[in-house]
Amino acid sequence: MTSLEQNRINELLHKYYMYKEKQKDIEEELRELRKDINDTFKEYETDVIKTKEYEASLKTVRSMRLSKADVPEDIYEEYAKEVVGQVLQVTKRGQKARRRSRSRSR
């Protein structure tokens, strides 16, 4: 590996490392903001909050989970557990929410 290649790779690794550090900081800030918003939902006993510019909604999400891979349907139905969670969605008023890409392979 030449010195130039090593510098290029080092720069890539450095950028990746720095963005991961920023991501950690941003995720912590988002956790705190999400908690404050959830507290606001509880305070006003609502699941939708609208301001002049934004709309926030709290929706319950249900999914089925099974830890065993590739089991017959009857086994899945018998042993699958429903998982219930909440999703916080904040959008600019007048704009539709963006859907998350589901391009990951399963």
- pLDDT for the residue 104: 40
Q: How far apart are CA 106 and CA 90, in angstroms?
A: 28
Q: What is the pTM of this model?
A: 0.59
Q: Mean pLDDT of successive 10-residue segments in the chain (106 residues)?
A: 93 93 95 95 95 93 71 79 80 70 41
- pLDDT for the residue 101: 46
Neighbours of 64 (CB within 10 A): 10
Neighbours of 40 (CB within 10 A): 12
Q: How far is CA 12 from CA 2, 3, 5, 7, in A?
A: 15, 14, 11, 9
**Positions of E strands within the chain:** 48-50, 54-65, 81-92
Task: Please list, in sequence order, all residues whose beta carbon lies within 8 angstroms of the beta carbon of residue 86, skipping any fewer than 6 positions away.
Answer: 58, 59, 60, 61
- pLDDT for the residue 68: 64
